[in-house]
Amino acid sequence: MASIRALALNCTLKPSPAPSSSDQLAREVLAELAEQGVDGDLVRVVDHDVRFGVSTDEGDGDGWPDIRAKLLSAQILIIATPIWLGQPSSVCKMVLERLDAELSETDAEGRHLTYGKVAGVAVVGNEDGAHHTIGQVQQALNEVGFTCAAAGTTYWVGEALHTVDYRDAGPKPDTTGRTTKALALNSAHLARLLAEQPYPPPGTGGAGVGPSRDPA
Amino acid sequence: MASIRALALNCTLKPSPAPSSSDQLAREVLAELAEQGVDGDLVRVVDHDVRFGVSTDEGDGDGWPDIRAKLLSAQILIIATPIWLGQPSSVCKMVLERLDAELSETDAEGRHLTYGKVAGVAVVGNEDGAHHTIGQVQQALNEVGFTCAAAGTTYWVGEALHTVDYRDAGPKPDTTGRTTKALALNSAHLARLLAEQPYPPPGTGGAGVGPSRDPA
Amino acid sequence: MASIRALALNCTLKPSPAPSSSDQLAREVLAELAEQGVDGDLVRVVDHDVRFGVSTDEGDGDGWPDIRAKLLSAQILIIATPIWLGQPSSVCKMVLERLDAELSETDAEGRHLTYGKVAGVAVVGNEDGAHHTIGQVQQALNEVGFTCAAAGTTYWVGEALHTVDYRDAGPKPDTTGRTTKALALNSAHLARLLAEQPYPPPGTGGAGVGPSRDPA
Amino acid sequence: MASIRALALNCTLKPSPAPSSSDQLAREVLAELAEQGVDGDLVRVVDHDVRFGVSTDEGDGDGWPDIRAKLLSAQILIIATPIWLGQPSSVCKMVLERLDAELSETDAEGRHLTYGKVAGVAVVGNEDGAHHTIGQVQQALNEVGFTCAAAGTTYWVGEALHTVDYRDAGPKPDTTGRTTKALALNSAHLARLLAEQPYPPPGTGGAGVGPSRDPA
C-alpha cells in the first residue's frame, strides 16, 4: 500500500506564537489523518517570508520554495484558513497564487506535478463564510491540478453576528469532528488510489480505444 | 475494467428546440468521453417539469425522479450551464438543490449514493463568469458527495462586454477543446478507480490501523 | 420629502402556506422600513407562475410582469432568500435573471429604470452561507442598476452544521435585529436622496465641466 | 457643491516599476473622475510595507496608516485589482482585511468613518473572473460601510483561456471605456449626495416618525 504524507498549511494572518483557531482545526485534521496511517507536517505560512507572486520562486529570501519542497513530497495538501469578511484570508489567497505557478510545471509525461495530489480544506471563523471559503479554495486548487475527495472539507463557525473563536468554542466532536473524520477517511483513500494508479498522461487514448489523438 | 456511463444535464433556461450553447459544449464533452469508452446521455432539464425543492421527489408529476434514476445508473455527472450575471443559471441551482436530497440517502454501509460518482463542469457565456460558475457548482457537488477530477472542467466565454455565443463562435479546439479533452481523460480515469475501489464506509479505520472508532 | 415604497420578494422554494423563515425576516425588514415612513408589499415569488428567462415578459401566463409592475412603482427592493448549499436559492437566481432584462430598458434620458432604486438583502439559513449569498445578490443587483446602501443587509444563520431555522430560533433583536434596523435606516435615507436627485443621464459632463462627450 | 476626492488603490502583486494593467485601468478611472470634477491619488499598495492584519495600525513600520489617512480624506475609493485564478488578488484581500478595522471606528454620532464614502471597483485579467472579483470586493466594501453606485464597476478580460493583458490589448473605448465613464459619472454624483446629506446616525427615527427607539 502506497505510503502517504500530508502537508497542512495554516493561513492565519497572525505570526506565532499568537493562538490560532486555524491551527487547532488543522491539528485535528492531521490527527484524523494519522488514524488513517498518514503522517503530516503543519506549517504556519505567515511565519515564513513568503512573497506575493505567481512563480515557484520569487527569489531574494522568498520562503515559498521550502514550503513547496514539502508539498512536492506530500500526496495530501490541507489548506486551513480563517474567514475574514466571509472570505478566505489574504494569506490563503497568496498561497493559491503561488500554486498557480504549478500550471507551468510538468513531469516527463506532461502531467502537472499536482496531478494525483488530493486537497482538503479546513475553515474556521467566528460566524459565517465557510461554504464560500471552501468553494473559493476548492475551485483554485482544482484549477491548478489537485483533486478533492467527496466530503473533503471540514469547518466551524458560530451563530450569525457572534464573536467566539473555535479555539474557545471547540472542539465540536458531533459536528465539525464528524466532518473532519470523513475528510481524513476519504482523502487518504483517494490519495492512495491516485498514488497507485495516476491520471494518464495527456493525449492518452485511455480505455483501450486506440492511439492518442491530439495531446490535451 | 469497470463499465462507466455519463449523464450530462444541460441547464439552459430555454426549452427545446431553442438553440443552446450549453448543449453544444455538453455534446463536445460527451464526444470526448466516448473516446475514453464512456457512453452517455444528455438531458435538457428545462424540457422536463422539474420542481423547486430539496427532496428526491416533489410529487405531482415532478420531472426529477426520472432524471435521478439516470443519475443513479451513471458514474459521471456533467453539469453544463450557461452564465447569467456572472453566475450559474437558476436551472442549474434548481438541480443542485435537488441533489441536496442525496445527503439523506445512503447505501447499506452508510455511504451516500453519490460517493464514487465523478462530476465535471462545462460552462458557456457571452463573456466572463466561468471560473466563478465552476467554483459554485464544484462546491455544491462536492458537498453532496461527488468527486471532481483534476482539470475536471471546461468553459468558453468571449472578451469582456461582448455578446457572441459559443454556438456561433465555437468550437474552439485550441482552448476550450483542449480543456474538454482533459476533463474527459481525467474524469473517466477517476470514475473507473472509484468504481473498482469505492470510498470506505464511514467509521472505517482504514490503512490497517485497527477497528473503527466513531462512525464518521 | 419624497414618498418611498418598498417591495420585498421572498425567494423561498416553498409555496404558501408552508412556513418560511425568509418570510419572517422579510416582514421584520418591512416593519423597520415602516418605522422610517416607508410602506411596502411582500410577494412570495414561488406562489406566482414566474418563468425562467431573461426578458421582461416570457408570455403565456408568466407571473413576472405583475411583480415587475410592483417593482417599478417602488423605490426600495428587498430580496429575501434562504440559503441552500451555502448559496442563494434557485428562485432568487430566477428573479435576478428576470431583472437582467432591465439592462435593455431605459427612460427618455437613457437611464435604466432601476437607477435610483435601492436594494437591500435579507438572508436566512440553518447554518452558514449568508455573506456569500449577500455578495451574489448584491453583485447581480448592482449590475442591473440598483444601489445598495451602507449596511444594506441583514441575515441570520445558526452555528456550523446545525439545523434549526430562523422561524424557530428567531427573532434575534441583539444581532439580526440590529442589522435589520440599520438596513432600513440607511436604505430609506439613500432612496430619498436618489428620488430627489437622480443619477445624471449618461453622457452628462457633470460638475460643470462642459458639454458631454461620448454617451456612456 | 461639495468638493470630492478619490483614492485609487492598485492591488497588483508586482512592485513598481513593473508594468501593471491594473495601474492602466485605475488611471483611466481617475481620468474619467477628473472629468466629473474629482481629483484623485493612485497608490500601488505593494510598494508600501502593508502588513497582514485586521487593525488600523499593525505597528513596526506598517505602511497602512499612511494609506488610511489618504482614504479618510477621500470620498471615493477605487479598488483596482488583477484577477488570479478567477479571484481578486491576495493584495486586494489584504486591503479589504485592513478595512475590516473600520467596523470598530465611529464618529461622534456613532457612524462608521466609511459611511458616506462611495466605492468603485476596477478589474483586469487575461481571461475571465471579473464579475466574481467585483462581487467579492463589493460585498466586503459594503460590509465595512461603503456604498457602491449603480454601474459602479468597470473591467476588462480577454476570451477564455487567452493570455493577453489589458496593457497590451487596451484601451477599449467601446466596452470597458463605456463602463469606466458610467462608474465615474454615478460615483461622483452619489459621493456628492452623501457628502451633503450623510446617512443618519444609528437610532435615528428618520422620516418624521418621532424620537429614536433602540440604537441600531
Instruction: Say whether B125 sits in a helix, a strand or coil.
Output: strand
Write the pLDDT tens digit of every residue in A15-30.
999 999 999 999 999 9
The answer, for D53 touching chain A at a CB cutoff of 8 Å, is yes
Q: Domain C5-196: give its CATH code.
A: 3.40.50.360
Pairing of strands D5-10, D76-84: parallel
Cα–Cα distances in angstroms (integers) from residue C112 to residues C101, C102, C108, C141, in the given order: 10, 7, 10, 12
C-alpha cell at C27: 416582514
| Least confident range of B81-85, B174-178, D205-209 | D205-209
Query: Which one of A52, A100, A128 makes the best mutation probe of the D interface by having the most chain D beta carbons within 10 Å?
Result: A52
Burial of B60 (0-12, 13-18, 19+ CB in 10 A): exposed
Q: Is the pLDDT reported for residue C86 higher than 90?
A: yes
Question: Chain A closest CA to C30's CA: distance in Å?
Answer: 21
Helical segments of B15-119, H only: 21-35, 64-72, 90-99
Instruction: Look at residues A119, D95, B53, B105 and name the one whose alpha carbon lies nearest to residue C89.
Output: B53
C-alpha cell at D165: 493583458
What is the share, in percent, of chain B residues with pLDDT greater than 90? 91
CB C176 within 8 A of CB A160: yes
The pLDDT-based confidence of B213 (bands split at 50, 70, 90) is: very low
HSE-up (13 A, CA, CB side) for residue C139: 27
CB D51 within 8 A of CB D58: yes
C-alpha cell at A69: 519542497
The answer, for A178 touching chain B at a CB cutoff of 8 Å, is yes
Cβ–Cβ below 8 Å for C132 and A127: no
Q: Which residue has the higher pLDDT, A54 or B212?
A: A54
DSSP class of residue C148 equals B
C-alpha cell at D29: 478611472
Q: Which residue has the higher pLDDT, A116 or B124?
A: B124
The answer, for A144 touching chain D at a CB cutoff of 8 Å, is yes
Q: Is the pLDDT reported for residue A214 higher than 80?
A: no
CB D12 within 8 A of CB D44: yes
Chains that touch A (3 or more CB pairs under 8 A): B, C, D
Q: Which residues of A touch C86 (CB under 8 A)?
A: 130-132, 134-135
Cβ–Cβ below 8 Å for D87 and B131: yes
Nearest CA in chain C to A157: C160
Segment C117-122 mean pLDDT: 98
Cα–Cα distances in angstroms (integers) from residue B212 to residues A38, A189, B206, in the given order: 16, 15, 8
Burial of B37 (0-12, 13-18, 19+ CB in 10 A): middle
The answer, for C52 touching chain B at a CB cutoff of 8 Å, is yes
Q: Is the pLDDT reported for residue A87 higher than 60?
A: yes
Write the pLDDT tens digit of every residue in C15-40.
999 999 999 999 999 999 999 999 99
The pLDDT-based confidence of B209 (bands split at 50, 70, 90) is: very low
Look at the block and give the residue holding cell 432524471.
B67
Q: What does the pLDDT read at residue C13?
A: 98
Length of chain C: 216
Instruction: Look at residues C199, C150, C207 and name the one whose alpha carbon lies nearest to residue D5.
Output: C207
C-alpha cell at A118: 488530493
CB C125 within 8 A of CB B100: no
CB C128 within 8 A of CB C83: yes
Q: How many other C-beta atoms lie within 10 A of the C-beta of residue D164?
A: 14
Cβ–Cβ below 8 Å for D216 and C136: no
Look at the block and give the residue holding cell 502588513.
D51
Question: Chain A closest CA to D200's CA: distance in Å?
Answer: 23
The answer, for B211 touching chain A at a CB cutoff of 8 Å, is no
Q: Which residues of D touch B171 (CB under 8 A)?
A: none
List of E strands, A49-117: 76-84, 87-88
The answer, for B131 touching chain A at a CB cutoff of 8 Å, is yes
Nearest CA in chain B to A177: B216
Cα D204 to Cα D16: distance, rounded to the nearest angstrom: 47
Amino acid at C12: T
Instruction: Say whether B5 sits in a helix, a strand or coil.
Output: strand
Q: Is the pLDDT reported for residue A181 higher than 70?
A: yes
Write the pLDDT tens digit of every residue in C124-165.
999 999 999 999 999 999 999 999 999 999 999 999 999 999
Find all residues with CB under 8 Å of C44, minimum gap 6, and list them: C10, C12, C15, C16, C20, C23
Pairing of strands D87-88, D76-84: antiparallel
Q: What does the pLDDT read at residue C2?
A: 74
Burial of A158 (0-12, 13-18, 19+ CB in 10 A): buried
Interfacial A residues in 71-100 facing B (CB < 8 Å): none
Q: Which residues of B touch D175 (CB under 8 A)?
A: 159-162
Q: What does the pLDDT read at residue B133?
A: 98
CB A43 within 8 A of CB A79: no
Q: Is the pLDDT reported for residue B212 higher than 50?
A: no
Write the pLDDT tens digit of every residue in A68-84.
999 999 999 999 999 99
Q: How far is CA D7 from the centre of its chain?
A: 8
The pLDDT-based confidence of B163 (bands split at 50, 70, 90) is: very high
Question: Chain D closest CA to C17's CA: distance in Å?
Answer: 32
Chains that touch B (3 or more CB pairs under 8 A): A, C, D
SS3 content of chain A, % helix, strand, coil (to 5): 40, 20, 45
Cβ–Cβ below 8 Å for A86 and C132: yes
Amino acid at C75: Q
C-alpha cell at D216: 441600531
Q: What does the pLDDT read at residue D203?
A: 76
Instruction: Look at residues C14, C159, C164 and name the one whose alpha carbon lies nearest to residue C81.
Output: C14
Segment B62-87 mean pLDDT: 98
CB C38 within 8 A of CB C109: no
What tens-digit pLDDT sequence spans chain D (216 residues)? 679 999 999 999 999 999 999 999 999 999 999 999 999 999 999 999 999 999 999 999 999 999 999 999 999 999 999 999 999 999 999 999 999 999 999 999 999 999 999 999 999 999 999 999 999 999 999 999 999 999 999 999 999 999 999 999 999 999 999 999 999 999 999 999 999 999 999 876 543 332 222 222
Write the pLDDT tens digit of every residue in D52-111.
999 999 999 999 999 999 999 999 999 999 999 999 999 999 999 999 999 999 999 999
Segment B108-133 mean pLDDT: 97
For chain D, domain boundaries: 5-196
